[in-house]
């Protein structure tokens, strides 16, 4: 027999709304703190007991409410944030839906004490959605909401709450996220009478980040600021050398509102491509700003997701912002100040004569470039173990891994050349014949176009044998046949499988195998040219695997080791 349709009682409807808004104590904390921020609070204090199961107390010094508004705030859909349906597009406030306070009150015993500027304070007590008391009270301007016995009248939902420690962690995360978004506001969080977070108002963003995320992680971050189109991106990203496979933190904001978006995180990681190992995951703190009309924040009950009018544009700007910040960071931290006058920059358009280190020309000086912005090459440069290049700066010693450095140079140079059609190979008088496996033959066929674009002309020679008619010549010590075999083997085995762009993956493989090796002796001119070309790279301190090309040993560390400090 079919059931008849009926109108739900208000108490049941409120509890359904509560299920959308209040999944756990942390959800209630987030809603109440956002209301305090919308009220213009400069100081917010949150106290929890048993992870919020027994007590949630949120106090602020915001604008407060009159008695009439305080009573009206417990009606469903009552809000001061919107007036028409058009206001739902580009909502500039946080607690805009109007269901939070009545929803929380419907599943708890709630007390609200509030006072507006120059008005009389009011206290309202609500139990299970029913108002029990409205009286005058004593309070300065602001609002205090005290929630006791969350889900006391919905035991099935209370049963699914996690342990007190888990619920406390979730509430801490909610408060920490809002504290990061609002460094101009002071936050205090007490868990079972113990202070867990206390940050003053008016902090700089980097100081607030250090206070919330900890000094170790904060010190591994560098600032980011980038504007393109209708988007502005600010925040902090982790240095490539500090990125790890696990333990990272990520936080996104749009117009001051925290949200989650795995595609934007992926776009930010794409900005690190060729600067970190494919398995590493950098920490990110990114604030996006755009017109309120260009983003829809009303697509998730807990306001954790947003919809962009220009989704592709947002992802592109985030990736560009990360690349730009990394380029500025790495370009500024490479050479240091030479202790003596530096040798002249490598001139533009050097003719790559015999014996030169790298015949791929890299212009280090554009016309009109200020002298301070031209890559300066130190002199002299020493070579240790035929593997490391060492030179002195005013700040200490700089050590460069010659293989990693040349790998980075080749990668960026070849990528730039491929954008203009490709590289010319050197035709061989006698072709090089190589016998390959079936997997390697498949790899050759799959990457034939890329091989030709970097200078390899490959022809079948019968069976599993191929003939190399032309090979690239990145430096005089280059072994074209050996490099081809190693590149094809790497591609066949998926050794560089973490790259999402097939061409970049191929060039990274080639750069690794074509670069000079550790143990190759370089003369003084070759050392200088390698460093000059390295300093001209956008991501010079890291090779294509994300390993460091440059290590700096500060003078202070040397003096400390020798007891001079």
- β-strands 250-254, 284-289: how paired? parallel
C-beta separation of 74 from 134 below 8 A: no
DSSP assignments along 129-172, one per residue: TEEEEEEEE---SEEEEEEESTTTT-HHHHHT---HHHHHHHHH
Same domain, 38 and 83: yes
Looking at the fold, whether 133 and 227 belong to one and the same domain comes out as: no
Q: Is the peptide bond before 287 cis (omega within 30 degrees of 0)?
A: no
Q: Are 32 and 133 found together in one domain?
A: yes
User: Same domain, yes or no, for 25 and 156?
Assistant: yes
Averaged over 55-70, what is the pLDDT? 95
Closest CA to 469 of 484, 460, 458: 458
Q: 347 in a domain, yes or no?
A: no
Whole-angstrom Cα distance, residue 378 to residue 392?
A: 8
Give the highest mean pLDDT range of 72-76, 325-329, 443-447.
Answer: 443-447
Residues 490, 516, 452, CA angle at the centre, nearest 5°?
50
130 and 270 co-located in one domain? no
Q: Which residues contact 184 (CB under 8 A, 6 or more apart)?
A: 42, 201, 202
Cα gap 237→287, rounded to integer Å? 11
Q: What is the pLDDT of residue 300?
A: 61
More confident residue, 422 or 64: 64
CATH of the domain at 241: 3.30.230.10
CATH of the domain at 49: 3.30.565.10
Is 358 within a domain? no
Give the containing element (helix H, strand E) for 525.
helix 524-535
403 domain-assigned: no
Q: Which residue among 203, 225, 255 closes a domain?
A: 203
- Shared domain check, 226 and 155: no
Higher pLDDT, 236 or 94: 236
Q: Does 352 map to a domain?
A: no
Contact 276, 542 (CB under 8 A): yes
pLDDT (tens digit per residue) in 454-492: 889 999 988 889 999 999 888 777 888 989 988 888 888
Q: At residue 342, does pLDDT exceed 60?
A: no
Domain boundary among 313, 332, 351: 332
pTM over 0.75: no
pLDDT of residue 541: 77
The H-or-E segment that residue 16 falls in is helix 10-21
Strand order in the sheet with 550-554: 382-384, 388-393, 396-401, 550-554
107 and 187 within one domain: yes
Question: What domain count does the chain have?
Answer: 3
N- to C-terminal Cα distance for the chain? 89
Residue 235 half-sphere exposure toward CB, CA atoms < 13 A:
24
Q: Is the pLDDT at 424 greater than 90, yes or no?
A: no
Cα separation, 417 vs 410, in Å, equals: 10
Whether residue 218 sits in one domain with residue 199: no
The verdict on residue 21 lying in a domain is yes
Q: Which domain does 297 fall in, by range?
A: 206-332
Look at residue 346 and tell me if it is in a domain. Answer: no
Distance CA 225, CA 317 (A): 11
In a domain, 565, yes or no: no
Domain identity same for 50 and 191:
yes
Looking at the structure, tell me whether residues 193 and 221 fall in a common domain.
no
Q: 441 and 459 in one domain?
A: yes
DSSP E strands in 448-564: the ranges are 457-460, 465-471, 550-554
491 membership: H or E segment, kind and range: helix 480-493
Q: Is the pLDDT of residue 331 over 50?
A: no
Evaluate if residue 452 carries a pLDDT over 50. yes
Considering the domain architecture, whether residues 186 and 315 belong to the same structural domain is answered as no
pLDDT digits 0-9 by tens, 178-231: 999 999 999 999 999 999 999 999 999 999 999 999 988 998 899 999 999 899
Token pair recorded at residue 381: 């440069």
Cα gap 45→107, rounded to integer Å? 22
Q: Does some domain include residue 384?
A: no
Residues 6+ apart with CB under 8 A from 418: 453, 454, 503, 507
What does the alpha-carbon distance between residue 74 and residue 459 come to, in Å, rounded to a whole number? 79
Decide which of 332, 360, 375 is a domain's last residue: 332
């Amino acid at each position: 027999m079919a059931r008849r349709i009926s109108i739900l009682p208000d108490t049941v409807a409120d509890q359904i709304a509560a299920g959308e808004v209040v999944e756990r104590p942390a959800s209630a904390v987030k809603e109440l703190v956002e209301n305090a921020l919308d009220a213009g609070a400069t100081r917010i204090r949150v106290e929890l007991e048993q992870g919020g199961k027994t007590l949630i107390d949120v106090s602020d010094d915001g604008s407060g409410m009159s008695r009439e508004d305080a009573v009206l705030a417990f009606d469903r859909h009552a809000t001061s944030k919107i007036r028409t349906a058009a206001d739902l597009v580009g909502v500039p406030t946080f607690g805009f839906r109007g269901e939070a306070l009545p929803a929380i009150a419907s599943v708890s015993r709630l007390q609200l004490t509030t006072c507006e500027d120059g008005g009389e304070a009011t206290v309202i007590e609500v139990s299970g959605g029913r108002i029990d008391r409205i009286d005058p009270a004593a309070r300065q301007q602001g609002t205090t909401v005290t929630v006791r016995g969350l889900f006391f009248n919905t035991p099935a939902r209370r049963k699914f709450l996690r342990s007190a420690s888990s619920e406390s962690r979730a509430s801490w995360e909610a408060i920490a996220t809002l504290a990061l978004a609002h460094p101009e506001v002071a936050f205090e969080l007490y868990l079972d009478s113990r202070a867990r977070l206390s940050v003053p108002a008016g902090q700089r963003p980097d100081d607030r980040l250090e206070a919330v995320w900890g000094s170790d992680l904060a010190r591994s971050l560098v600032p980011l600021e980038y504007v393109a189109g209708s988007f502005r991106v600010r925040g902090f990203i982790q240095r490539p050398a500090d990125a790890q496979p696990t333990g990272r933190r990520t936080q996104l904001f749009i117009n001051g509102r925290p949200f989650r978006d795995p595609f934007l995180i992926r776009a930010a990681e794409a900005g690190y491509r060729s600067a970190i190992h494919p398995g590493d995951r950098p920490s990110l703190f990114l604030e996006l700003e755009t017109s309120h009309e260009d983003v829809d924040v009303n697509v998730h009950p807990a306001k954790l997701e947003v919809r962009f009018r220009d989704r592709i544009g947002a992802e592109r700007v985030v990736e560009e912002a990360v690349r730009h910040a990394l380029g500025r960071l790495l370009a500024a931290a490479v050479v240091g100040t030479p202790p003596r006058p530096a040798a002249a920059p490598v001139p533009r358009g050097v003719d790559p004569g015999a014996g030169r280190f790298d015949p791929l020309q890299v212009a280090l000086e554009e016309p009109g470039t200020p002298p301070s912005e031209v890559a300066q090459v130190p002199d002299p440069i020493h070579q240790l173990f035929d593997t490391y290049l060492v030179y002195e700066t005013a700040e200490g010693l700089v050590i460069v891994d010659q293989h990693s450095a040349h790998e980075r140079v080749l990668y960026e140079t070849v990528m730039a050349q491929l954008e203009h059609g490709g590289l010319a190979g050197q035709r061989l008088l006698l072709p090089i014949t190589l016998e390959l496996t079936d997997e390697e033959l498949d790899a050759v066929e799959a990457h034939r176009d890329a091989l030709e674009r970097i200078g390899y002309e490959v022809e079948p020679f019968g069976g599993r044998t191929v003939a190399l008619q032309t090979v690239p010549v990145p430096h005089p010590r280059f072994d074209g046949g050996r490099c081809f075999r190693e590149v094809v083997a790497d591609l066949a085995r998926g050794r560089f499988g973490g790259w999402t762009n097939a061409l970049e993956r191929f060039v990274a493989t080639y750069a690794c195998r074509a670069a000079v090796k550790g143990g190759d002796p370089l003369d003084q001119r070759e050392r200088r040219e390698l460093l000059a070309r390295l300093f001209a790279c956008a991501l010079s301190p890291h090779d294509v695997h994300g390993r460091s090309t440059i290590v700096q040993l500060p003078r202070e560390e040397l003096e400390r080791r020798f007891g001079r400090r």
